[in-house]
Structure formats: structure tokens, C-alpha cells
Amino acid sequence: MTTRDKIVDTLEEIALLLELKGENPFKIRAYRTGAEVVQSYPGDIVQKAADNQLKDIKGIGSALQEKLQELASTGELEFHKNLRAEFPESIFELFDIQGLGPKKIKALYEQLGVKGLADLQRVCDSGEAAQLAGFGKKSVDKIREAIAFREQNSGCFHQDVAMASAELVREALQAHPAAGRVEAAGSLRRGKETLHDLDFIVATKRPQEIMDYFVGLPFVTQVINHGSTKSSIRLENGIQCDLRAVSNTELPFALNYFTGSKEHNVAMRGRALKRGYTLNEYRLAPTGEAKDISANIHEEADLYRALGLDYIDPALRENAGEIEAAEKGLLPRLVELENLRGTFHNHTIASDGNATLAEMADAAQELGLEYLGIADHSKASFQANGLDEKRLRHQIAEIAELNKTYEGFRLFAGTECDILKDGSLDFDDGLLSELDYVVASVHNVFNLPEKEMTARLIRAIENPHVTMLGHLTGRLLLKREPYAVNVPMILDAAAETGTLIELNANPWRLDMDWRWWKLAKEKGVKCAINPDAHSTRGLQCLAFGVRIARKGWLTRDDVINCLSLAKVTEAIAAKRQRHS
């Protein structure tokens, strides 16, 4: 069965391969456009393609119509197969290296026979790469750094992929008749920003049966371990998944132990010892005269209570003050997805999103939100089709019109305004003042020294129209390092000016990092959880943002999205009013 995703992937791969061949850039773009159109087409485009009913779809001309028909009806495409045959499979690895584009990959492949990462490392080390035209010592050094960065993160995955895989595994396990409770543990449960494996615990009386079933599941591509209570497999996407079978009574202990973090566990064990117990993954047992209380422990919460602690949410288990807080009854009541009543920073087809204003608004309402902020790119982000003054004013008017049609819901007119190299903004204050709010973000010149980058951001923060700072460090998890910026100084400036900091909920960003939010909260800086959605589906990234906010100890009072429509309207106008 051909799926929409497969068609999209095929078209994108064709674009990549054509680039490698040095084809006409417009032809390449046509395939990329085609992929986008297929991705966002409302309706069953696969069926339509198979039936050759693709006429009059903008972006799909005669050549793509034919290819899509072949692809949809046969599941294959001769043209694609032939293209693939021209290059080794592993060549795609090279596109993950920052600083390598199609031209350089082409040169490496044709002149040095570089087929993948291993070859790339070799020709960098041997000095061959530096000899190529267009290459030199500096570029080779950069490539080596990029390889090292990639290797450091190899076997790591973004939250969206990990969560989807975890759901698949959980459902499969739960379906077995001998499976009792099935729980995800590990860093997934703690809500870490990236993950390298999935840990599951199942309560059962027949562990061997569960293990045999687990390693034989259809999505298993490799069996790493297969024992009577512990097995490890690899999924199709490369994620390793460990499963442990325990008894019902052991479950709370196993769950606690395998959720971690290691540091949290060490602290817990130490605490148990002080109270006369030894704690491990199976039980809490008295070491001396203490009374055996294990029969009273059915849930993790009972275990924490037994150690004189309030229940500590998995998100907080990083040994970063959570045990002390739990002892004193000072743990925060963490924000929940259900607390969010709206969100900011979302894109539409006006810039690089693929849904219209109305579609985004409808999707937001379906999620139960009361307001949605639109923040399309500004003109300096040309590559993202950023709006100029005229188009933005047109969008403001469009939003005003749409707002007349809603009851109990509102679109906010905003912008994701580029912060230019010197810290000035891409739009003048006159236009910014016509908007409901402004997200200010950096999209170019990432390599400034920390001092200059910090000054750049602070200058933007000091603009009275800047409501919030977008993706603070510009990092792309597992792909690009954050840029150098002094976060405490930024937080001070934000606190002083009443500027919000975004928690960008895109699983590739999750920026500002969760490790800073506790400090931000202490300084009185508020958070805006934003999905940075480029489609209606993208709004669901909010869930990832909430997970990170929880790791940052944030409560509903710290997150502006938890305010009602009336209150949030005041809140986003507050900074500006200080200055008027």
C-alpha cells in the first residue's frame, strides 16, 4: 500500500539525488514543491493520483502527475529507482553533516569515492579532502567537528520519534494476555529532550512468555538480548528498546529504579539507608531492626511516602533539588497540557507554513484552545517567504475579519520578527505597534562571539514592542549546536523589561533548554510555550513543550498560555504600556 508519507519521501529523495547530479535547480525545486503539495493536500491525494485525477493542482504539472500516478498505483517509480541506482545508499548520511551540501558531496563522491561517513572521516584524516578544489584546512576541520558532533549523538532520537515508537511498543505489549501493567520508564518517562533507548517494564506472572512474544513482534529488526526476564530489541527506525518483566509487587520498585535518573536513584538509596532500609530495583528491605513496610508499597507514591517524601514527578527526578523540596512539601504543582488555553508563534501559508489562517484557527479550536497567535516570518527571512510590510498589514486585516466570525476564540496578529545582526529589528516600531504581539528571533549570523550575541539579543529585548524572545539559542537538537549566548544576562534583561521567553516546543528545538527555567522562574521571567507550528498537525507539538516545562519546574502561574483569553490579552500588551 502506498501511503502519502511514502510519496512525500520519494519526491524529497528525488530532489536530493537530482541535486547530487547537479540538475537544473528549478527542476529540483519542482520536486520539493510537489512533496509539500502532496503532504498538505486536503483529501485523499493518493487515491486521486492512482486514478490520474490530479489536474489543476497548483505545483503538480504534467510530469509529476504521471510520476505520482505510477507511484500511487504500483508503489514504485522507475525514475526514482534508476536515480537511486546511480549512488550508494550510504551517501545520504553525508547530508546530515553541517557544512556539506550537494556540490561538496558530489566532489567528494566523484573525485575521492566517498560513499558515506566512514569514507568521509578517512579522507579528512588522510589529507586527501583538503586537496580537492574548494576544500582547504579550515573546511576539513569543520567537517571533522561535524562528524564528531554527529557521532556523539548517534543512536539518539528526537522526542516525537521516540514517543511514537514507545506508543507502538506499549500497545503491542499491552495486547498480550499475560501482561499486567505496562509502564515506560527511563529518560522517556522523565521527559528528556532526546533519547537513545526506550525502557519498558511489564508486570506479569509469566515472564518467559512475554519475552518470547516481545522479541517476535513484527516491528523488531534485531534481537540484542533475549532472556527470561530481560530482553532488548531494535526497532525499524534504529531505536533500541529494553523490556524487563517483574512481579506485581516488584513493579513500583522496578519502575522507580529504571526511571532514574541515576543521580536521583543514588540519593534515594542513600536516604533509604539512613532510615534503616536498603532500596533496589526489587524491594525496600530493612537492614536491621526497622519494620518491614514493603507490603504497604503498591505504587511509587507509597515508596516516596515511606521515605518521608512527597511524590516526585518523573520529570523532576534529576537530583536537582527535588528531594529537598519533596521533604519540605515545596514541590511545584507542574503545568499540564490541559492547562494551556492558547499559544503563540505559529506559521501559515503566508510564509513557510502549509495551512491557511482559517485552517490553523479551526485546528486550534478543535484542540480546545481559546486563542492562537500567528507569527509568520519577517522579510529578512527571505528563504522562508517572510512577509514584507505590505503583506503583513494585509494579514493583520485578514485576521481582524476572521475574528468577527469567531465566538469565544480569537486569533492574535503577530510576527516572528528577525533580529538583525546588530540587534535591531526587521520591522520599524510603527508597524510593530499595529500588532497584538511580537516574537523576536535570530535566523542568521549565528557565529557571533558570546558577548556580541548577548548584546544583540538584549537590544531586541529592550524594544518595548518585543513581547517574547523566540528559540533563545537557535539549537537544532542532534544537528546544530546552540549559539553562544549568556543566558543569565538575557534572563536579567527579560525580567527587567517584562519580556517573555519562549519555550519552543518543536522536538528539534525545545529551546530555551529546561535546565534554565528554574532560574528564569526565580528571576520572575514568564514562559510562553509555543509549538512553532507550520501545519495544523504541528500544533500538537505543544505536548512536547509541556513535558519540557515540567522538567523546568514550571507551574501554570509561570506559563502565560495558561491565562484566559481576557487575561492574556492584557498580559501581551503590558510591556508596551509601561512605555507609553
Partner DNA sequence: CTTTCTCTAAAGTGCACTGTGGCCAGTGC
Q: Is the peptide bond before 512 cis (omega within 30 degrees of 0)?
A: yes
For residues 256 and 146, what is the distance between their CA atoms, to the nearest angstrom?
Answer: 37
For residues 123 and 354, what is the distance between their CA atoms, to the nearest angstrom?
Answer: 41
What is the DSSP pairing of strand 220-226 with strand 230-235?
Answer: antiparallel
Percent of residues in the chain assigned helix, strand, coil, to nearest 5: 50, 15, 35
Of positions 30, 71, 453, 501, contacts DNA by CB under 7 A: 30
Of positions 39, 73, 98, 247, contacts DNA by CB under 7 A: 98
Q: Which is nearer to DNA, 26 or 295 (CB)?
A: 26
**Per the structure block, which three cell numbers stand in for 242?**
529494553
Residue 287 φ/ψ, nearest 5 degrees:
-90, -20
Does position 26 bind DNA by CB under 7 A? yes
Bridge partners (DSSP) of residue 285 are: 278
Q: Which is nearer to DNA, 65 or 194 (CB)?
A: 65
Q: Which is nearer to DNA, 231 or 351 (CB)?
A: 351
Q: Which of residues 36-95 bind DNA (CB under 7 A)?
A: 57-65
Q: Which of residues 255-284 bind DNA (CB under 7 A)?
A: none
Q: How far is the CB of 77 from DNA (least distance, A)?
A: 12
Q: Which is nearer to DNA, 29 or 274 (CB)?
A: 29
Q: Which of residues 418-437 bind DNA (CB under 7 A)?
A: 421
Spell out a b/e string for 364-389, using b for 16 or more CB atoms within 10 Å of the CB, else e. Answer: beebebbbbbbbbbbbbbeebbbbee
Q: Which is nearer to DNA, 4 or 480 (CB)?
A: 480
Stretch that binds DNA, among 161-169, 234-242, 439-447, 510-518 (CB under 7 A): 439-447
CB atoms within 10 A of CB 197: 17
Please count the residues of the chain.
580
Of positions 104, 244, 526, 575, contacts DNA by CB under 7 A: 104
Stretch that binds DNA, among 127-135, 286-294, 325-333, 521-529 (CB under 7 A): 127-135
By CB atoms closer than 10 A (0-12, 13-18, 19+), residue 474 is buried
Stretch that binds DNA, among 19-27, 237-245, 269-277, 390-398 (CB under 7 A): 19-27
Q: How far is the CB of 357 from DNA (least distance, A)?
A: 21
The strand ranges marked E within 220-313 are: 220-226, 230-235, 240-246, 277-279, 284-286
Q: How far is the CB of 411 from DNA (least distance, A)?
A: 25
For residues 399 and 418, what is the distance between their CA atoms, to the nearest angstrom?
Answer: 21
Does position 390 bind DNA by CB under 7 A? no
Q: Which of residues 204-233 bind DNA (CB under 7 A)?
A: none
Stretch that binds DNA, among 25-33, 237-245, 264-272, 316-324 (CB under 7 A): 25-33
Q: How far is the CB of 79 from DNA (least distance, A)?
A: 8
Of positions 447, 578, 579, 580, contacts DNA by CB under 7 A: 447
For residues 135 and 99, what is the distance between their CA atoms, to the nearest angstrom?
Answer: 11
Q: How far is the CB of 57 from DNA (least distance, A)?
A: 7
In what helix (H) or strand (E) does residue 204 lie, and over which residues does it extend?
Answer: strand 197-204
Q: How far is the CB of 181 from DNA (least distance, A)?
A: 43
Stretch that binds DNA, among 136-144, 278-286, 406-414, 529-537 (CB under 7 A): 136-144
Q: How far is the CB of 542 from DNA (least distance, A)?
A: 22
Q: How far is the CB of 67 from DNA (least distance, A)?
A: 7
Any idea of the CA torsion for 68, 71, 73, 75, to the nearest 10 degrees?
A: -160
Q: Which is nearer to DNA, 356 or 569 (CB)?
A: 356
Does position 515 bind DNA by CB under 7 A? no
Of positions 74, 75, 99, 154, contacts DNA by CB under 7 A: 99
In what helix (H) or strand (E) does residue 212 lie, and over which residues does it extend?
Answer: helix 207-215
For residues 434 and 389, what is the distance between their CA atoms, to the nearest angstrom?
Answer: 11
Does position 114 bind DNA by CB under 7 A? no
Q: How far is the CB of 425 from DNA (least distance, A)?
A: 15
Of positions 1, 85, 133, 295, contacts DNA by CB under 7 A: 133
Count of residues of this chain found to bind DNA when the rule CB under 7 A is applied: 46
Q: How far is the CB of 396 from DNA (least distance, A)?
A: 23
Stretch 459-498: interaction string toward DNA, x if CB under 7 A: -----------------x---x------------------
What is the DSSP pairing of strand 197-204 with strand 194-195?
Answer: unpaired
For residues 206 and 92, what is the distance between their CA atoms, to the nearest angstrom?
Answer: 44
Helix (H, G, I), strand (E, B) or coil at 246: strand
CB atoms within 10 A of CB 199: 24
Q: How far is the CB of 491 from DNA (least distance, A)?
A: 24
**Per the structure block, which three cell numbers stand in for 306?**
515511606
Bridge partners (DSSP) of residue 511 are: 504
Give 236's contacts (C-beta < 8 A, 6+ positions apart): 219, 221
Residue 345 φ/ψ, nearest 5 degrees:
55, 75
By CB atoms closer than 10 A (0-12, 13-18, 19+), residue 447 is exposed
Q: Which is nearer to DNA, 30 or 163 (CB)?
A: 30
Q: How far is the CB of 525 from DNA (least distance, A)?
A: 24
Q: How far is the CB of 121 from DNA (least distance, A)?
A: 17
For residues 406 and 370, what is the distance between their CA atoms, to the nearest angstrom?
Answer: 10
Interacting residues toward DNA by CB under 7 A: 24, 26-27, 29-31, 33-34, 57-65, 98-105, 130, 133-140, 142, 381-384, 421, 443-445, 447, 476, 480
